[in-house]
Amino acid sequence: PGMAGGFLLEIRRRTQSALLVIRYGADLPSAPVDVTVAADRLEVSSGGSCEAAALPAGVRLAPSSCRGLRHLPGDGLHLRMRLSCPPPGADSVFTLRESLKPQKNYVFYCQSCGDIIVKDRKFLRVLPLPSENWSALVEEWCCHPNPFARSTLHPQHGDCFLGDTFFLLNSGNESHVPESPENTRVICKRCKTMLGETVSPDTIKYYVTEVIVQPSEGSFSTTPRSQFVQSMVAQCLVELSSAKSTFRFTIEGDDGKIYILVWLLNSDTLLVESSGSPSSHSVFTLFGDIFMPSSGPIGTWNAVKVLYQPCIKGRNKALADTWENDIGVHPLKFPSETCLELLLILGLSTNSLPPSLRCMNSFQVRNSSY
């Protein structure tokens, strides 16, 4: 049988530890199985057949540290070990603040179809917005009535304000502004995807999951929708957890409903995955094959690990109400359609994991690349 389902190596950078799962398409073979762990490769042999996989550059294991070998039905072989040297560092974490610079021209594209939404806009100022509950916090800080109660933060034509999950721009003469004042949803004219919403007659909010922002001299390149959504959400989680030391989030739609509860476990994970034989390619691959490089059967990517609970159709309502009223939980708002997309992506990721790694207490586990 060999490594019919491939292997998954989950590395924690901070502890330089790794969990290796060798997946079998069925139960263990009747013949003895030999697992060889070298510094730069893995090898499994049984019944005269042998399969080997070289590890990516920079990933070096310490074979003498292997321990805890066990077989779990439905999973395969589990083995823990340490690394002999620190793994490659993660790429610099994307931040909205770094994606736009003053005095440069930018084009906003619809992520779904590539239609130009905002063309050649130069920003004189790129400023971060305070958190969405800043007004309520001012009430606690001031011993007199809130001096900002009637103030609104609206960008001028040369401004771009950055929120946790959105860009706030002056609408100018943009053609995607709703014609009816009752309808605040901003829709792509080509593919009818919701891009954002109007905040005031001259201010538009574009969600980071719906638009791609590139310098005017650059060219538009497409990214698979599921890959883009999970990458942007993961980056938001990493940025906010680092800046505000918060690790619990509610994913809310533009309709005001909570769709998902997310608990960020770690953001220092490096995943190395082999697809195994073609017959079981879909068994152990995250989100189909969109992360597998075309140059070979080994995929490597940075990931965040989260716990999550779905809240659609009244599920987990009591827990959602508790989190909503907890000051330590940070709300993240996206279009409702995107929240449903994200929930589907979470489910696909969970199902791609070995059964023993899919749940923790009452939460479901998911790895998300960024």
pLDDT tens digits for range 332-367: 999 999 999 999 999 988 888 888 888 887 788 767
Structure-derived torsion over alpha carbons of residues 112, 313, 287, 9, reported in degrees to the nearest 10? 140
Highest mean pLDDT among 85-89, 142-146, 174-178, 257-261: 257-261
Burial category of 176 from C-beta neighbours within 10 Å (exposed 0-12, middle 13-18, buried 19 and up): buried
DSSP 90: P
Confidence check: pLDDT of 134 > 90: no
Confidence at 48, pLDDT banded by 50, 70, 90: confident
284-314: pLDDT as tens digits:
223 333 333 334 567 788 889 999 999 999 9
Parse the chain into domains and list their residue ranges. 1-89, 96-215, 224-267+302-369
Phi-psi region of 200 (alpha: psi -120 to 50; beta: other; left: phi over 0): beta
d(CA 75, CA 5): 10
pTM of the model: 0.84
Per-residue pLDDT, 363? 83
The average pLDDT across 38-51 equals 83
What order of strands is seen across the sheet that includes strand 33-37?
Answer: 33-37, 41-46, 49-54
Residues 6+ apart with CB under 8 A from 146: 135, 138, 139
Structure tokens at 298: 């080994």
Say if residues 99 and 167 touch (Cβ distance below 8 Å): no
Structure tokens at 197: 């919403």
Q: How far is CA 200 from CA 154, 296, 332, in A?
A: 8, 50, 21
Per-residue pLDDT, 96? 61
172-193: pLDDT as tens digits:
766 555 555 667 899 999 999 9
Confidence check: pLDDT of 283 > 50: no
Least confidently predicted of 104-108, 149-153, 192-196: 149-153
d(CA 168, CA 126): 10
Confidence check: pLDDT of 115 > 60: yes
Per-residue pLDDT, 148? 62
CA angle 43, 266, 289 (to 5 degrees): 50
Mapped onto helix, strand or coil, the DSSP state of residue 188 is coil
Structure tokens at 122: 């130069």
d(CA 260, CA 13): 28
Confidence at 228, pLDDT banded by 50, 70, 90: very high
d(CA 355, CA 75): 6
Per-residue pLDDT, 225? 93
Mapped onto helix, strand or coil, the DSSP state of residue 321 is helix
Confidence check: pLDDT of 238 > 70: yes
The average pLDDT across 206-232 equals 90
